[in-house]
Structure 1
Amino acid sequence: MSIATVTLRQPADQDGYSLHQLVSRCQPLDTNSVYCNLLQCTDFADTAIAAENAQGELVGFISGYCPPARPDTLFVWQVAVDGSMRGQGLALRMLLTLIKRVAAGQGVRYLETTISPDNAASQALFLKAFATLGIQHQTRTLFSRERHFAGRHEDEVLYRAGPFKDS
């Protein structure tokens, strides 16, 4: 399957169950309930992006939201890319398209996400996006293994980047 045949669009309510299935195929991503995925595709559709192949199948998704205390910030919650589409730049294409949309439509100037230290693929994705956008970033541990996860999950390191340059 080729990235050239993928359409990027805003999610809709009918994507909720497909999103649940996609995330289930994208280990080690944390799965959420179908209901949560439905909310990501409806209430948070303005800060999410779906990738659909020529057959109408969901092959990529980025969920995010603007934290109420930081409405100028897009927090990217989860990036999922189907195994058939990995290694083709789909995640970067989705991320840059989403950033452009929320920066223009909602006045977002900063990007945040959390990444565990062993997730080299996510680190590479976000560092490439920051470089492409020409923005600086900072990191700090947001949720620690011991304090927040009772030793059962790796630290979650916050990456904060911006401000976005005016286009």
Structure 2
Amino acid sequence: MTDETPDPLAGRSGYEMARKALEQARAEAKAAGKSVGMGRSAPIRSRRRGGDRSRRTWSGAGPDGRDPQPLGRLTGGIAKDRGWDSKISEGTVFGMWPSIVGEDISSHAHPEKLVETTLYVRAESTAWATQLRYMQGDIIAKIAKAVGHNVVTSLRIFGPQAPSWRKGPRHVPGRGPRDTYG
């Protein structure tokens, strides 16, 4: 004689059998009073007070605010929070001047100061100053590409500084040392 009792799992796929076993385990755990999750990690609690509690995000496989952050991103955030962006941008323009404008230009001109968004550049000769004035748009575009937009919006280009005959705090208007006895 053979036992003719029907098998409740006969004819089902592996997925259906696993699903049935999971439902059965959850029902047993619930009856025992244990908390049962849905196969996900716990929700991230919002640190906002009085915020919308119905909106919770779930931690998962993707990046999260709790993950370790690269040092560059952290220092950039600190600099931005403390208002150091302008000084860092200024230092970048001065420090990277040869690589921004090229060796040819940097060997004949150098930046002196950055006031607001105007960069003051001193050329070694009046000819170079004139040439740089013609190239002003290209130089600003190169700076914007290297450092960021709106760091430098205009250039003030000067030639070499002429020697001053003015000595001391007081002086008399006139021709100066070329004014001889006569």
TM more than 0.5:
no
Task: Give the structure-1-normalised TM-score.
Answer: 0.26
Higher relative contact order (CA 8 A, sep 6+): 1
Calculate the TM-score normalised by the size of structure 2: 0.25
Q: Which has the higher strand share?
A: 1
